[in-house]
Each structure stands twice: as structure tokens, then as C-alpha cells.
Amino acid sequence: MDSQDLMTLLKIKIKMKKELTSDEKGMLACYDRPVDFTRRKNIDEIINYVKK
């Protein structure tokens, strides 16, 4: 069993609940549609540091 299988089981378990917390709703939303939480500003700072 790999991590993808475990995530699928978690998704099924969460979907079976009658009431979802906001965290669980967010997990379900991210499962089907990937979300990028990257802050571009932080990447620019790292790139500028490396270029120095």
C-alpha cells in the first residue's frame, strides 16, 4: 500500500462523515484540484540571494 492508496482511503472516510470541519472541506477540495500555496515573493527573495 502506497501513499496514494492511503490518501484515497482518507478521502473516502472524510466523505462518509455527516458534518465536515473546515479543514476536512479544504482537504477534499485540494484532493481533486491541486492547490499551489507558493508565495512568489519568497521565491524572488531566494533567487536574489543566490544571484549575489
Q: What is the mean pLDDT of each run of 10 residues along the chain (52 residues)?
A: 87 93 89 80 89 91
Write out the three cell numbers for 46: 531566494
| pLDDT in the model for residue 22 | 93
State which residues form the domain around 28.
Answer: 3-51
DSSP string, 1-52: --HHHHHHHHHHHHHH-SS--HHHHHHHHHHHS------HHHHHHHHHHHH-
Number of domains in the chain: 1
Write out the three cell numbers for 6: 492511503
Burial of 2 (0-12, 13-18, 19+ CB in 10 A): exposed
| pLDDT in the model for residue 39 | 83
